[in-house]
C-alpha cells in the first residue's frame, strides 16, 4: 500500500455505483486464472507426463476453434498449436488473486517442472492468464508479495486481461 509522508497507509477502494436512494451497488465482477502451455512438438499427453498434472482442457493443432459466447465467431480457424490448460476451480465471482492462489495450489510441487517446461525450446509458450471482468470504471487488483514470488518460481509469462463491462441496460 502507498504511504503518506507521516507514515499513514492509504488503501485504494473500488468505485461503487449508487442507486437513486444513495445505497451502493457492488460492481459486477467475474475472474479466472489458468496455466496455458502451447507447443507444436509436444502433445498434451507429453506435457501431462512431464508435469505430473492432468489438464482441465487440451487440444491438438489443427482442431477448429469455436467461441460459444459469441455467435459471430465461426469455427473456421484451426488452432496452430497443441494446447494444455489447467484452471482455477473457484467460482467466477472470486477475486483474481484468489483464483491465482487456487491455480498455484493446484500446480503445487510441480512448479519447478513448469519452469523446466517453460524453458524447453519445443514449447512455444507457457503462460499464466488472469482474467478480470467488471463494471467498475476504475478496475484493478493487486497481488501479494507471496503470490508474485510463487509466480516467479514458474518462470512463465503472465497475461492479464481486464475488461470493463457495459451497464446491463446499455446498448
Going by the DSSP 8-state scheme, the letter that residue 9 receives in this structure is B
- Residue spans of the domains in the chain: they are 30-164
pLDDT at 119: 96
pLDDT tens column, 82-127: 999 999 999 988 888 999 999 999 999 999 999 999 999 999 999 9
Q: Identify the top-confidence range among 8-12, 21-25, 42-46, 78-82.
A: 42-46
- CA distances (Å), origin 9, targets 1, 2, 43, 51, 59: 6, 6, 49, 42, 47
Instruction: Please say if the pLDDT value at position 153 is more than 90.
Output: yes
69 CB-near residues (< 8 Å, 6+ apart): none
- Burial annotation 112-131 (CB, 10 A radius, 16+ → b, else e): ebbeebbeeeebeebebbbb
Residues of the chain above pLDDT 70, percent: 71
Amino acid at each position: 500500500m502507498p504511504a503518506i509522508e507521516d507514515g499513514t497507509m492509504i488503501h485504494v477502494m473500488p468505485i461503487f455505483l449508487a442507486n437513486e436512494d444513495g445505497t451502493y451497488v457492488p460492481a459486477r465482477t467475474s475472474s479466472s486464472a489458468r496455466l496455458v502451455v502451447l507447443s507444436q512438438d509436444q502433445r498434451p499427453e507429453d506435457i501431462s507426463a512431464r508435469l505430473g498434472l492432468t489438464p482441465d482442457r487440451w487440444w491438438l493443432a489443427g482442431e477448429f476453434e469455436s467461441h460459444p459466447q459469441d455467435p459471430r465467431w465461426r469455427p473456421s480457424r484451426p488452432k496452430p498449436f497443441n494446447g494444455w490448460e489447467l484452471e482455477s476451480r473457484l467460482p467466477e465471482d472470486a477475486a483474481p488473486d484468489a483464483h491465482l492462489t487456487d491455480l498455484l495450489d493446484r500446480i503445487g510441487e510441480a512448479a519447478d517442472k513448469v519452469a523446466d517446461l517453460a524453458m524447453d525450446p519445443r514449447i512455444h509458450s507457457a503462460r499464466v492468464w488472469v482474467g478480470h471482468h467488471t463494471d467498475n470504471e476504475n478496475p484493478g487488483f493487486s497481488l501479494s508479495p507471496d503470490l508474485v514470488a510463487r509466480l516467479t518460481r514458474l518462470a512463465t509469462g503472465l497475461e492479464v486481461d481486464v475488461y470493463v463491462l457495459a451497464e446491463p441496460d446499455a446498448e
